[in-house]
Amino acid sequence: MHLYRAALSGVLCLFILTGASFGVRAQSAKHKKYVVIGYVGGYRGLVDTALVDAQKLTHINYAFVNVQNNRAWLTNLKTDSTNFRNLNKLKLKNPGLKILISIGGWLWSGNFSDAVLSDTSRRAFAASAVQIIRDYGLDGVDIDWEYPAQAGAGNKFRPEDQQNYTLMFKSLREELDQAEKQTGRNLLLTTAVGGFKRFLDLTEMGKAQAYLDYINLMTYDYFQDSLGVAVHHTNLYPSKMYTAEDNADKTVKDYIAAGVPAAKLVMGLAFYGRSSIVAENSQNGLGVKTTGKAQAGGYTMIKDSLINKKGFKYYRDKDAKAPYLYNPSSRQFISFDDEWSVKNKAEYVKDKKMGGLMFWEYTSDTKEYLLDELNKVLGK
């Protein structure tokens, strides 16, 4: 998940079954429950786990582990190790909770391409990632490569990334399988992926999914600077107020068409807003030409301090199933997820028989307004 998103905001995993061949994860025949996966930002320092309600989650993804010298690398060893111990203590409240390391993110994906370039480097990278799992008694690995075969935050990339991305998961799954045999514990492999078609064009998700337990769709940050207008950043469906390619429904359909089983797909939620300044007071800001960006904050702040307050008025785009705020005095537009949009997305996940939902990032909604709504709809 983007550290870039986290900076502006303050943002999964398992059915384990044995496949017919070594290292392959089969699709679940029975969908017993939905996953609720929360990202927790360890890159900020020590995590206050007293703020984390373990009983409302099935998985926590610890963001982020770096990639250095072709290895998974704990940049802040003392802090990370303390966070791992404290997160594992949450299992006293929820024994079924799974803790995964998330490797990469917006600012730490620069060395992925080198790390998985050869069979030798892939095996070494996989071994280093799984060693962290072994050392701290964790439950799996999440890969957040932003992005294979394209630059992301100016990262190194090459055409070979397309195949090497798949082969990386193969190596990781084989390493995890060996650790499973030795420890007798189920270990997970997941990935966070771009919620846009180009990510699919430059990867082999139909092949890669065979090694994965869940594929977490980053169905947010649809702000598209190239459009030059104020848009929803985490809409479920298209809006009729402007023309844009990306929305969560299209992303889900594209991934299924690419060969990913719906039961492995996890819908992403934004627990933070995105904001822009528009040029004129028309259409309540939505679809209007922008003149710049602005800060938005996390949902707890948005709900408590901005909705129908301080000159902001709340609106719903019923076509897109997306809420937004607009302040005509400052011409500030804010897009975000709220209880209404989360309910719509959770119902969508149930209707499409998807794996569940994940969100970026826990501290953006400290009062757990959205997490409570999510649990309510899923019947947890």
* Tens of pLDDT, residues 116-170: 999 999 999 999 999 999 999 999 999 999 999 998 998 999 999 999 999 999 9
- Sequence-distant (6+) residues with CB within 8 A of 161 are 112, 113, 116, 148, 149, 202
How far is residue 102's CA from residue 349's CA, in Å, rounded to a whole number? 23
Domain membership flag for residue 115: yes
Domain that holds residue 350: 3-271+337-378
Domain membership flag for residue 63: yes
Q: What is the pLDDT of residues 3-47, one digit of tens each?
A: 444 433 333 333 333 333 345 666 543 445 999 999 999 999 999
**How high is the pLDDT of residue 226?**
73
Query: In which element (H, E) is residue 67 found?
Result: strand 59-68
How far is residue 202's CA from residue 219's CA, in Å, rounded to a whole number? 18
**How high is the pLDDT of residue 227?**
83
Active-site annotation holder among 146, 361, 368, 373: 146
Q: What is the pTM of this model?
A: 0.93
Residue 286 reports pLDDT greater than 90: yes
Domain membership flag for residue 284: no
**How high is the pLDDT of residue 30?**
42
**How high is the pLDDT of residue 24?**
64
Domain membership flag for residue 315: no
3-state secondary structure of 71: strand
**How high is the pLDDT of residue 323?**
98
Domain membership flag for residue 304: no
Domain membership flag for residue 265: yes
Domain membership flag for residue 281: no
Q: How far is CA 329 from CA 61, 98, 229, 294, 311, in A?
A: 40, 46, 18, 14, 7
Domain membership flag for residue 130: yes
- Sequence-distant (6+) residues with CB within 8 A of 294 are 275, 276, 277, 332, 334
Domain count, the chain: 1
Mean pLDDT of the chain: 92
In the chain, the amino acid numbered 325 is L
Segment 78-94 mean pLDDT: 98
361 is catalytic: no
Q: What is the CATH number of the domain that holds 267?
A: 3.20.20.80
- At residue 298 the predicted structure's pLDDT band, cuts being 50, 70 and 90, is very high
